[in-house]
Structure 1
Amino acid sequence: MNTTTTRTPAPPARPAAAAARPPRPSRVSSWARRAPLLPALIFLVVVTQLPFAATLVISLWDWNALYPDDRAFTGFGNYGTVLGDSDLRGAVLTTALLTATVVLVSLVLGLALALLLDRRFRGRGVVRTMTITPFLLVPVAAALMWKHLLFNPEYGLLNGLLAAFGDLFGFTAPQPDWISEMPLIAVEAALIWQWTPFMMLILLAGLQSRPLELTEAARIDGANNWQIFVHLTLPHLRRYIELGGLLGSIYIVQHFDAVFTITAGGLDTANLPYVVYQEFYQAQDYGVASAAGVLVVLGSLLIATFALRVVSSLFREEGSRS
């Protein structure tokens, strides 16, 4: 006897794209993953964004604490005062000169140190640690050290070295007052000393990420060290140099400690952060000080935008290599 078996038809196969597509997370699970980050986000908004919003509002008012009854809304009048004041324009030029000098010299010195520390030698780890030490110091402590231990005309180390050099060769060495005779250079020297290790770290990381096969191939083809540096090393370090320059610029534009500690803003060394301090705490002009502070923040954000683009391009390059 023949028995017929009926087979149930198989369900239609789903497309491969639909089968590979992961299930969409529910709204509850999405918020469950984001919930631990909410306290940090709220803290960040309260600490950073609310004070900036208050500063932005105050910058639109003619608000001097010495005349509390004369408060009035001026719109963008305080910004016109900031941009039209000759002292403030001088502070802008001083800030630009200070930033450009410190960043460029720190990059050059940092590149030289990175090239030296990229070589293998005994005690390289100890030398690297000692070289990084200036960047780890508190900025005020570093400025005080330069002001009193190095620049002091009576017992400073620089004048002591000059005197010893003169005694060695039989002449009277000059004993300059470094801060009075070259105030901006004194501030720049302290900042360069502290920021060169930072540039060295970034460039050393770039040197250690370069492909060694290209260098070996260039040596086999007869290229010397200078040709390898110009045609291979520098092009590879371009993004790292840009990153170090942009990050250093963000900090130096906002730097206050060395100017306040070494020269107290005198002798044409007052930069924009010091002018904000003067307007707020000495002149008690909250409106003008807030307007100047907003301009500093906007300039820093402009530089930070370029820095983030450089960082993202570095990540893309590293991802393409892997």
Structure 2
Amino acid sequence: MTAAVATPAHTRSPQDARAVARAEGWRRRAPLLPALIFTIVVTQVPFLVTIWYSLRSRNLLRPESDLFVGFDNYVRIAQDATFRQAAANSVVITLGCVLVAMLLGILLALLLDRPFAGRGLARTLLITPFLLMPVASSVLWSVAMLNPTYGLLNWTLSLVGIPSVDWTSTYPVVSILMALVWQWTPFMMLLVLAGLQAQPRDVLEAAAMDGAGWWRTFVSITLPQLRRYIELGVLLGIIYVVNTFDQIYIMTAGGPGTESANLPFYIYQRAFLGFDIGQAAAMGVVVVIATIIVATLALRLIFRSFDVRE
């Protein structure tokens, strides 16, 4: 009897090698297919339905007006001044929150990276705002902090002779930004703190032995080390803050008028208050595409910095 002998890898033809590699790839991917199918069903199918609604003139108050109108909803969006204002508010709120929260997060992380009595308690207290529900933090800021009659901020300003201000009516966007920055600063602080604790101590000791001061060490060594963490925090902050809804709904309801409405809130108004499903769906499609473009560009910049460092 002759025993079967396995073909050595170096004697296989290129076609056989590709077939083996393809089979091995499918063997590794097979356990992930159920999760992939589930993700496609719960994300892409609703998005395709949204695209379909965006091409129709559908109003829940007038069922007979359900007609295919093509890109007419997108043309109306381009001509909608309120949509442009909501888009501008989204940019201001998102960038303002992310940049200010990141700056404060860096400062707090630098403080927490130094040993002092009660550091564990201070870290826990600083993390607490990020653990609160957005609705709870919105109520806290609207009622306890910014109330024109008995708010803590107006009471503090009255101590130096500044009259009370109705913040949510006079400065609605600033009020929303204060609540968002308070909630997102702990997240940025944790990311930066992780970067500070990951930097090699021998490099810092060498810089100190060479006579480098705190500022020179921070600019030349610490800040480049934190670049990846800062970029990741900014990217995640933009993705999440651009979808802000709770703070606007609780604190200002998009007002006065539509002065503080962002894109998610304006889409909510068109869909659930104006019952214009077609135009609301078109707005949603535009927002999703814009978010994907921004996230893709940001991810490319981050991965490019990784490749350069490697």
- Structure 1 and Structure 2 fold alike (TM over 0.5): yes
Structure 1: gaps spanning 5 or more residues = 1-10, 167-171
Q: Which amino acid aligns with 1:235?
A: P
Report the counterpart of residue 266 of structure 1 in structure 2: 255
- Encode CA deviations 1:246-270: one digit per residue, 9 max, x unaligned: 1111111111111111000012001
Q: Cα distance, 1:39 vs. partner?
A: 3.6
| Matching residue within 73, 76, 79 for 1:81 | 76
Q: Name the structure 2 match of 1:184.
A: 173
Q: Residue in 2 aligned with 1:7?
A: none
Q: Which moved more, 1:74-83 or 1:133-142?
A: 74-83
Number of matched residues?
A: 298
Q: Which residue of structure 2 lines up, in the alignment, with residue 152 of structure 1?
A: 147
* Equivalent residue, structure 2, for 1:297: 288
32-41 vs 233-242, greater mean Cα deviation: 32-41
Q: Is 2:203 aligned against 1:196?
A: no
**Considering only CA atoms, is the larger Rg found in Structure 1 or Structure 2?**
1
Give the whole-Å Cα distance in 2 for the aligned partners of 1:67 and 1:26: 54
Q: Which AA in structure 1 matches 2:232?
A: L
Q: Is the 8 A contact 2:168 2:251 kept in 1?
A: yes
DSSP-derived class of the 1:254 partner? coil
Paired residues of 1:249 and 1:303 also in contact (CA < 8 A):
no
**Cα distance change of structure 1 residues 15 and 195 upon mapping to structure 2, 3 Å threshold:** closer
Q: 270-279 vs 239-248, which deviates more? A: 239-248
Letter in structure 1 aligned against 2:82: D
1:252 paired residue number: 241
Task: Measure, in 2, the Cα distance between the counterparts of 1:102 and 1:95.
Answer: 10
Q: How far did 1:194 drift?
A: 0.3
Of 118, 123, 127, the residue aligned with 1:128 is: 123
Task: Give the Cα separation in 2 of the matches to 1:158 and 1:63.
Answer: 46
1:122-180 deviations in Å (ceiling 9; x for gaps): 332222222111111111111111001111112222223334x25xxxxx541211111
Query: Could you tell which deviates more after superposition, 276-285 or 297-306?
Result: 297-306
TM-score (norm 1): 0.84
- State the distance in 1 between where 2:292 and 2:272 align: 25
Distance 2:269 2:260 in 1: 13
Amino acid across the alignment from 1:308: L
The TM-score, its normalising length taken from structure 2, stands at: 0.87
More moved, 106-115 vs 205-214: 205-214
AA aligned to 2:272 is: Y
Identity level (%): 48
Q: How far off its partner does 1:213 sit?
A: 2.5
1:70 and 2:65 are equivalent in the alignment: yes
In 2, Cα distance between equivalents of 1:216 and 1:175: 51
Deviations 1:168-220 (A, max 9, x none): xxxx5412111112111000000000011111111111112222222222222
Separation in 2, partners of 1:239, 1:305: 16
Q: CA RMSD in A?
A: 2.7
- Within the alignment, does 1:284 sit opposite 2:248 as a pair? no
Unpaired segments ≥5 residues, structure 2 = none
Kept in 1, the 8 Å contact 2:169–2:255? The answer is: no
Give 3-state SS (helix, strand or coil) of 2:59's partner. coil
Match of 2:195 in 1: 206
Change (3 A) 1:107 1:17: farther
* Partners of 2:268 and 2:99 in 1: CA distance: 27
The match for 1:169 is: none
Match of 1:43 in 2: 38
Q: 1:158 to 1:220 in 2, by over 3 A?
A: same
